[in-house]
Amino acid sequence: MQSTVTKNIRPTSPSPEWAALLQCASPHADLSILSELLHQVSWPALFALATEQGVVSLLASNMAQCEEDRVPAAFADKIRQLQRTQMLSALQMTAELFRLVDRFRDAALDIVLVKGPVLAVRAYGDTGARQYGDLDFLVRQKDALRATELMIAAGYEPEIPAEAVSPEKIPGQYVFVRISSPLLLELHTERTMRYFPRGLPIEKFFARRQSVSVDGHQIPALAIEDELILICIHGAKHLWERLSLVADVAAFVGRQTSLDWERSFATARSVGAERMMNTGLALASNLLGATLPQNVQTRLQSDRAASRLATKIASWLPSAGQAPPGLFSRALYRIQMRGSGVSGLGYLLRLTFSPTQEDWSAGAEDNHGGRFAALRRPVRLAKKYRSGEKS
Domain containing residue 290: CATH number: 3.30.460.40
Domain match, 239 and 371 both: no
Residue 25 located in a structural domain: no
Residue 356 located in a structural domain: yes
- Structural domain tally of the chain? 2
Look at residues 283, 273, 278, 284 and name the one whose alpha carbon lies nearest to residue 303.
278
Residue 55 located in a structural domain: no
DSSP H helical segments within 256-385, as ranges? 261-270, 274-288, 294-302, 304-316, 327-338, 341-353, 357-361, 373-385
Domain match, 312 and 330 both: no
Domain match, 358 and 245 both: no
Distance, in Å, from the CA atom of 277 to the CA atom of 270, rounded to the nearest integer, reads: 12
- Domain with 329 in it: 324-391
Single residue among 321, 345, 363 that ends a domain in this structure: 321
Domain match, 241 and 380 both: no
Determine the pLDDT at residue 352.
Answer: 77
Q: Which amino acid is at 209?
A: R
Residue 289 located in a structural domain: yes
Determine the pLDDT at residue 189.
Answer: 94
Crossing angle of helices 16-25/274-288, nearest 10°?
110
Domain match, 304 and 334 both: no
Helix (H, G, I), strand (E, B) or coil at 169: strand
Question: CA 13, 18, 19, 21 torsion: positive or negative?
Answer: negative
Domain match, 269 and 350 both: no
Domain match, 301 and 167 both: yes
Residue 188 CB coordination number (10 Å): 23
Local mean pLDDT, 10-residue blocks, the chain (391 residues): 42 77 95 91 92 92 78 84 88 95 97 96 94 93 93 92 72 86 91 90 97 96 98 94 96 96 97 96 97 96 94 88 75 85 84 67 47 58 56 42
Residue 279 located in a structural domain: yes
Residue 158 located in a structural domain: yes
Residue 117 located in a structural domain: yes
- Biggest CA pair distance of the chain: 65
Residues 6+ apart with CB under 8 A from 99: 154
- 210-214 sheet: strands from edge to edge: 156-158, 174-178, 184-188, 134-138, 112-114, 217-221, 210-214
Determine the pLDDT at residue 377.
Answer: 60
Domain match, 346 and 305 both: no
Domain match, 92 and 185 both: yes
Determine the pLDDT at residue 230.
Answer: 97
Determine the pLDDT at residue 357.
Answer: 64
Domain match, 342 and 365 both: yes
Single residue among 321, 340, 373 that ends a domain in this structure: 321
Residue 21 located in a structural domain: no
Domain match, 287 and 348 both: no
Distance of CA 227 to the CA centre of its chain: 11
Domain match, 386 and 330 both: yes
Single residue among 298, 321, 344 that ends a domain in this structure: 321
